[in-house]
Structure 1
């Protein structure tokens, strides 16, 4: 029963739950807490999937007549019967496969993303003009200006991070609007939002297509942009940021970068004229995130961990 319960929880957390949460609009008023909630759901889904496999494995090594676990998996065929034993083995193998896919996905996403960023950073260092940036009364390096007439702005996260803007951006925007767009990109770099996206990308790739949902990845992308928008509002105000976002809406970032514009620009601009963030919603989201991790652990993990402990100390 523990294995079945874990499997059902995992299926819910990678399918219906992300789909429902992605349609919620309240998350836009508590972006940081909503990201924590999304992270809790992803972590709970992974832990539930692994727990289901481990619970199945424990049934393959049930205690024998002497109270000790059986020595081999195949010795339980007679006790369980071929159909049930085969099902247990297949579920356990699927769990191991998901674990292997998750490890491979993390490595693939990390390596591929960093290669793309390193290549593009080399290009912008060659063709872009280095320039000092001033953002929120701070002056720093790492800004590259491209001779492109279309307004665009994006950042390349990493150890050698870069903020890239076009000549069209500097020409079309007022000084406070430039400050807003630079604050937006610097917020991405300072908070390492790219690492959050990498985690969700890896989890999305690890689960089989018939159970996973793209809702989590898309929702987190939007929430991360909202966090950067909030930082820009604190630096320059909502109106300059809204104008800068509209100007850079058609700008597209290369793979691995994080652009200020994009398909969510209209939604984000509307939010800037809304009610603002809510402390009540944020606290509710934090409590929900804690419940997603704690409740399954207490209700499901503790009982079967106790049984597993008994099995190996018998």
Structure 2
């Protein structure tokens, strides 16, 4: 029982207390790749910790004292481990369903969100076949639309889309900058990060970690793409391009150059900040790696 209480407390810490602190961390916007990894680590930690806490609450005492080994033994994943009984009873099988739900819920939502995104992208690709014009000089598809917008459709049949309004509003350098931004989304598979955060938010609605992780992931991947564009283009060029396309709406399952938190990103582009200190980066990496391991160590204890 003590182990279950400790794990439940750790799950509350990860799911409720830590997310607001990480959202306000100064280093996050200066190291967006590291911040995304930290959010992903928190989500994995919450699922692992909650699963183990529910297991220790649900399982009978003879298996709970064996910790994680008992869980693996009941599941048939470990043989020869100490367990009281040759086979799990029906009550034990039913008890295993509770922690299994904690794992299967986000996995199920991930599959569902991925399928929805795939269908939305496929519908838009079919539409682009009818109304889009290839622009090989930009590696993009041009759509006859007055509002400036630049976005990408990630996935297997990836596509960068530029509206006619964007071609009219942007200079050559500005257009190249936002196109580099979109290619960064495609090459970095940022759509997968969106899917993970979205599935977690749908699996655990109302959880502060779910809300903050989804919001911050959307913002941070845009910052990562901004940083990629800044490798090849001047800051003022990218900033001007962001202003031009900020009002452009993008279709479902697409990632746009206007993107989330345009004002925050614009300020970040125009007023660059140094990367976090090496000690800070190492500390975040260590904490991200240790966070999901700690509940496993607690669960393995007697």
The TM tier, using the shorter chain, reads: 0.7 to 0.9
Alignment of 1:191-206 (within 5 A): 191-206=188-203
> Using the alignment, how far apart are the partners of 2:236 and 2:155 within structure 1?
30
**Alignment match, 1:310:** none
Does the 8 A contact of 1:197 with 1:220 survive in 2?
A: yes
- Pairing 1:254–2:258 present: no
Aligned equivalents of 1:75 and 1:183: distance in 2?
57
**In the TM superposition, what is the alpha-carbon distance from 1:231 to its structure 2 partner?**
0.8
Determine helix, strand or coil for the equivalent of 1:61: helix
Contact 2:41 2:291 in 1 (8 A): no
Q: Is 1:48 the equivalent of 2:49?
A: yes
In the other structure, the counterpart of 1:304 is 299
Cα deviation digits, residues 149-204 of structure 1 (max 9, x gap):
11101100011100011111111111110110100000000110111111111112
1:121 partnered with 2:125:
yes
The correspondence of residues 135-154 of structure 1 with structure 2, limited to 5 A, is: 141=139, 143-154=140-151
Residue aligning to 2:74: none
Residue 79 (structure 2) aligns with: none
Residue 127 of structure 1: CA displacement? Answer: 0.3
Name which of structure 1's ranges 167-176 and 288-297 shifts more when overlaid on structure 2. 288-297
Shift in CA distance, 115/75, structure 1 to aligned 2, threshold 3 Å = closer
Distance 2:242 2:142 in 1: 18
Are 2:45 and 2:291, in contact at CA under 8 Å, matched by a contact in 1?
Answer: no
Give per-residue Cα distances to partners, 1:61-98, cap 9 Å, x unaligned: 3499xx8515666889xxxxxxxxxxxx88x6543322
Question: 1:103-252, aligned counterparts within 5 Å?
Answer: 103-134=107-138, 141=139, 143-209=140-206, 213-252=210-249
- SS class of match (2:246): coil
Please give the alpha-carbon distance, in whole angstroms, between the structure 2 residues aligned to 1:224 and 1:233: 14
Query: Which secondary structure state, in structure 2, belongs to the residue aligned with residue 15 of structure 1?
Result: helix
The question of whether the paired residues in 1 share the 8 Å contact of 2:148 and 2:169 is answered with yes
Q: Is the 8 A contact 2:14 2:209 kept in 1?
A: no
CA–CA separation in structure 2 for the residues paired with 1:270 and 1:217: 21
8 Å contact from structure 1 (residues 34, 285) kept in 2: no
Tell me, which stretches of 5 or more residues in structure 1 are unaligned?
77-88, 135-140, 308-314
Structure 2 Cα separation of the partners of residues 286 and 199 of structure 1:
25
Contact kept? 1:30, 1:277, Cα under 8 Å: no
Unaligned 5+ runs, structure 2: 66-81
- Please name the residue that 2:84 is paired with: 69
Q: TM-score, normalised by structure 2?
A: 0.84
The 3-state SS of whatever aligns with 1:236 is coil
Corresponding residue of 2:68: none
SS in 1 for 2:273: coil
Query: C-alpha displacement at 1:27, in angstroms?
Result: 1.1
Larger Rg: 1
Total equivalences in the alignment:
283
Q: Could you list the per-position Cα deviations for residues 111-130 of structure 1 after superposition, in whole angstroms to 9, with x for gaps in the alignment?
A: 00111011111111220101
Q: CA RMSD in A?
A: 2.6
Alignment pair present for 1:100 and 2:115: no
- When residues 215 and 296 of structure 1 are mapped into structure 2, their CA distance, relative to the original with a 3 A threshold, is closer
Superposition deviation, residue 205 in structure 1: 1.4
In 2, the alpha carbon distance for the partners of 1:197 and 1:296 equals 21
Measured in 1, the distance between the counterparts of 2:283 and 2:202 equals 28
> In 2, Cα distance between the equivalents of 1:266 and 1:303?
43
